[in-house]
């Protein structure tokens, strides 16, 4: 079930699981987008892939899919911003290479980041 903003409001723990899975999808699917500083610049086709991946994990109630999509896109945007911040704090500022943990980041993108 979804609330008025499309957020999950079902059993305890589901909302946290939803957020965690959104973050995992971002870290897995957007490794080649780390140089994009604004979520709005990520193409709609890429966002649709993220949503399709999320739909593999969750079933949205009929008639509420649009609300869920909007909520998920906002959450994906926050997760993307948080991940880029973590990359900066934990890797760039400490002189570590994120490619050790996120192997699909192209070397030239990591250098540019």
Q: Domain ranges for the chain, please list them.
A: 14-112
Query: Above 60 in pLDDT, residue 11?
Result: no
pLDDT given for residue 18 in this prediction: 87
* Cα within 13 Å of Cα(47), Cβ side: 17
The rounded distance, in Å, linking the Cα atoms of 92 and 84 is 10
User: Strand, coil or helix: what is 2?
Assistant: strand
**24-70 pLDDT per residue, tens:** 999 999 998 999 999 999 999 999 999 999 999 888 778 888 888 88
pTM (two decimals): 0.82
The rounded distance, in Å, linking the Cα atoms of 104 and 29 is 9
The residues pairing with 8 across neighbouring beta strands, listed in sequence order, are 2
**68-108 pLDDT per residue, tens:** 888 899 999 999 999 999 999 999 999 999 888 888 888 88
Reference 84, options 107, 103, 102; nearest CA is 102
């Amino acid at each position: 079930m979804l609330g008025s903003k499309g957020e999950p409001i079902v059993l305890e723990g589901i909302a946290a699981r939803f957020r965690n899975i959104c973050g995992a999808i971002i870290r897995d699917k957007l490794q080649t987008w780390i140089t994009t500083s604004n979520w709005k610049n990520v193409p709609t086709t890429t966002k649709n892939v993220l949503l399709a991946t999320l739909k593999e994990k969750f079933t949205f109630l009929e008639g509420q899919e649009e609300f869920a999509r909007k909520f998920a896109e906002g959450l994906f945007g926050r997760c993307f911003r948080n991940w880029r911040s973590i990359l900066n704090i934990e890797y760039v500022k400490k002189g570590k290479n994120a490619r050790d943990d996120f192997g699909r980041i192209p070397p030239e993108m990591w250098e540019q980041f």
